[in-house]
Amino acid sequence: MDFAIRPMTSSDIPEVFEIDKASAVLYWPERSYHFEVETNEASRPFVAVDPEGKILGFIVFWLIIDEAHLANFAVRSEARNRGVGRALLNHGLRVCYEGGARVSFLEVRSGNTPAIHLYESSGYHTESIRKQYYQDNHEDALNMNLDPEAYEKLIQAINTGNGKPSPGTAFEHTPKTKGPTA
């Protein structure tokens, strides 16, 4: 599947919101995306787009000094399992690394097997469990960390082409409006 990754812009938000709403029970309101794209200087939001410009998925990191926090992440259900998610994760982690991040943190539902597989295969490990954390079904939350050594290893793998990069990113895609980050 051909796709490119670029910074999220304001005009992407309706499509991103629809993907989030279809993917998560506790999805963000649209205004949160406006804040991320237009106001939050710590935010590193990206989208994956197909050659027609359709958004396949998105990821939002918060870069706080040397920490990359994964804040939100989803791929369209019909585009999953084709490497889009891994490519978004690698891209976000690489941009945050270049901005000074040396560790990464995230939180995931304990039953979210595909996401946990993706994170573990990228070098994250479960640091702690928050019992019955999620309000909708009282599912546990796993707090996962990407430690400095594992982060460095992943960046090296990405840079040398061994970070399971996606077959996509073969073309450039220019959005109609400019995003906030590189």
Ligand X SMILES: CC(C)(COP(=O)(O)OP(=O)(O)OC[C@H]1O[C@@H](n2cnc3c(N)ncnc32)[C@H](O)[C@@H]1OP(=O)(O)O)[C@@H](O)C(=O)NCCC(=O)NCCS
Q: 154 to each of 40, 93, 106, 139, 151, how far by Cα in Å?
A: 27, 9, 16, 29, 5
Catalytic residue selected from 33, 97, 119, 124: 119
Structure tokens at 63: 């870069």
Nearer to ligand X, 38 or 142 (CB): 142
Q: Is 126 in the site for ligand X (CB under 6 A)?
A: no
Catalytic site residue 107? yes
| Per CB under 6 A, 84 contacts ligand X | yes
List the structure tokens of 167.
Answer: 């077959």
Catalytic residue selected from 18, 30, 67, 107: 107
The residue within the footprint of ligand X, chosen from 4, 37, 68, 74 (CB under 6 A), is 74
| Of the residues 39, 81, 174, 177, which one makes contact with ligand X according to CB under 6 A | 81
Q: What contacts 3, CB < 8 A, 6 or more positions away?
A: 48, 49, 50, 51, 56, 84, 87, 166, 168, 169
Site residues (CB under 6 A) for ligand X, limited to 132-151: none
Whole-number Cα distances in Å, 26 to 43, 51, 109, 164, 168: 20, 30, 12, 30, 29
Binding mask 154-173 for ligand X (x = CB under 6 A): ----------x---------
Query: Is residue 119 among the annotated active site residues?
Result: yes
Binding-site ranges for ligand X (CB under 6 A): 23-24, 73-75, 80-86, 108, 112-115, 117-118, 121, 164
